[in-house]
C-alpha cells in the first residue's frame, strides 16, 4: 500500500497523508482497492449459484458502513444460499447473509503459484 498510496481511499475517506499500518489492512475500502488491483473482479449477481467457496464479497450496511465476508462451502438450509463467514463486531460468525445488504463487490482471489 505504501508504494501505491494514491490508489487507495485513505486520504479521501480518513484524511490520511500516509499509510496507517495499524488498521489499513482491515479497512474494507482499502481491501476493495487491493482486490480490484490483484484479484478477479466478478459480477455482483443476484444469483446465489454465482458465488463460489472462497469468493470475497463486500456490502454496504445501514449507516454507510462497509463490510466484508467470505463464501464458505456450506449452504443455508432455509434459503439455499452459500453461508458467509464474517465479523460484524461480535467475533467471527457464519451466517446466511449473502443478500441481506447491498453487495458492493464480488472478488475471486487466486494467489500466484510458486515453483519449488
In this structure, the answer to whether residues 27 and 63 fall within a common structural domain is no
What pLDDT shows up at residue 23?
Answer: 56
Residue 102 falls inside a structural domain: yes
Q: Say if 114 falls within a structural domain.
A: no
Average pLDDT over every residue of 91-105: 97
30 vs 101, higher pLDDT: 101
Could you tell me the CATH number of the domain that includes residue 90?
A: 3.90.1720.10
Q: Which pLDDT belongs to residue 110? A: 80
Q: Are 19 and 59 contained in the same domain?
A: no
Classify residue 115: in a domain, yes or no. Answer: no
Residue 71: CB partners within 8 Å, gap ≥ 6?
A: 51, 52, 53, 54, 55, 56, 57, 82, 83, 84, 98
Q: Which three cell numbers stand for residue 76?
A: 443455508
* Residues 54, 88 share a domain: yes
How confident is residue 116, by pLDDT bands cut at 50, 70 and 90? Answer: low
Query: Which of 3, 59, 64 is CA-nearest to residue 31?
Result: 59
Contact partners, residue 77, CB within 8 Å, separation at least 6: none
59 and 15 housed in the same domain: no
- Name the residue with cell 438450509: 77
Write out the residue range of the structural domain in which residue 49 sits.
Answer: 40-108
Cα–Cα–Cα angle for 69, 22, 106, nearest 5°? Answer: 20
Amino acid at each position: 500500500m505504501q508504494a501505491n498510496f494514491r490508489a487507495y481511499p485513505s486520504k479521501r475517506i480518513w484524511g490520511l497523508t500516509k499509510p496507517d499500518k495499524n488498521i489499513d489492512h482491515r479497512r474494507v475500502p482499502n481491501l476493495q482497492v487491493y482486490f480490484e488491483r490483484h484479484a478477479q473482479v466478478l459480477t455482483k449477481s443476484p444469483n446465489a449459484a454465482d458465488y463460489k467457496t472462497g469468493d470475497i464479497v463486500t456490502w454496504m450496511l445501514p449507516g454507510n458502513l462497509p463490510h466484508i465476508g467470505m463464501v464458505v462451502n456450506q449452504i443455508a438450509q432455509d434459503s439455499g444460499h452459500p453461508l458467509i463467514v464474517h465479523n460484524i463486531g461480535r467475533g467471527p460468525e457464519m451466517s446466511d447473509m449473502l443478500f441481506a445488504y447491498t453487495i458492493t463487490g464480488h472478488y475471486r482471489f487466486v494467489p500466484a503459484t510458486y515453483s519449488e
